[in-house]
Amino acid sequence: MAHNADTEVGRLRTVVLHRPGREFMRLTPRNNTSLLFDGIPWVARAQEEHDVFAAALRERGVEVLYLADLLTEALAIPAARAELTTKVLAGNRLGETLRREVGEYLGHLDPGRLAGVLIGGLAHEELRTGSGLVYAMLDRHDFVIDPLPNLLFTRDSSVWIGDRAAVTSLAMPARRRETALTAAIYRHHPRFAGTPLLYDPGLEHLEGGDVLLLAPGVIAVGVGERTTPAGAERLARRVFSAGLAHTVLAVPVAQRRATMHLDTVCTMVDVDAVVMYPNLADSLMAYRITRREGDEPQVDEPGPFLTVASEAMGIDQLRVIDTGLDPVTAEREQWDDGNNTLAIAPRVCLAYERNVCTNAQLERAGIEVIRVPGSELGSGRGGPRCMSCPVSRDPIAGRPLSAG
């Protein structure tokens, strides 16, 4: 089955989501900070909110694939099972005795239960056969295999650029195993087997929340807390070599929790419009990277993001819709992912209902807003775009891949 996505706003056809499960139940006041959550979500309500989100997508004709289902199906293939078991046992944390015992435990699990452990983790008390010094010195509340609550944000571990999947390189230790699961799905699941992989977790840090497909052939990459300049440069080399882009914009983003990715301050809602945090609209800069002979990147001096992006896209002006109506509201709604919208077609997006002022601004600008709840889902600092990995979008009529 062919998959392709070359813009942020082409009609969305297929998306990968992850419904929160046992890994959310494992968040406690002791570990939520290390697992990158700002609070302890009410799990049942978070699941209800996610179900509403998925239903809203289906109602608009979007095929919803669940990552846990894809992983379970992939684990029925011996090569995928061996690959992921080896990865989860790797490293020197477990020691020889515990590594052997965990390997034996995992070896007896069916694909569904194994997927549950790889996502939800394995607690000390669940490994009743544990022995050895490492196991003895673990606190009873510690995990032998850590849970992955951030798997909710499927955007980060992979991004489709054209007909290729870029399995990213996540910066935070709590999230790095996510890409192993994603890579195994793309390599082994029958639906995706044979998909060319554009990037891999062993490369420089690059996260999907920092990658915006502004137009066919034009990609913006945020550089800040999670994505490094080296990651942006590596992606530029890869897309140039594959003929998937003629321009990459490296966009420095402040290295703060509130602005961890480019899509926390800017997302596209139309072929020529973005919703954007107003505090950054005039100050956000971009380095334009173009392809020289031999795929060597040519880096220009930085210029205003809106100007550089418009020129690369071949349009007169990139329209900006502000988050909020005043500085306090703008800051509150940016923190609550007001900018993190998911476009499912030109001028149609999903957004958290709590961002009342930003949603009203979008509607005044002619954007249809499908409101979804996010009071509990937002505790990990991510909105509808963060929670979705578009696999297939329709091309935008009249917008071919060509130099701007």
By annotation, the residues acting in catalysis are 386
Beta strand extents in 168-277 (DSSP E only): 197-199, 211-215, 217-223, 245-252, 266-270, 273-276
Q: Count of residues for the chain?
A: 404
Neighbouring C-beta atoms of residue 373, cutoff 10 Å: 17
For residue 290, give the H/E element and its range.
strand 285-291
- For tokens 């929160």, the residue is 20
- Please report where in the chains the tokens 């544990």 appear, as a residue: 130
Task: Specify whether the CB–CB gap between 5 and 162 falls below 8 A.
Answer: yes
CA end-to-end span of the chain, whole Å?
31
Q: Longest C-alpha distance within the chain, in Å?
A: 67
Which ranges in 271-323 belong to alpha helices (H)? 278-281, 305-313
Among residues 36, 23, 27, 17, the alpha carbon closest in space to that of 226 is found at: 36
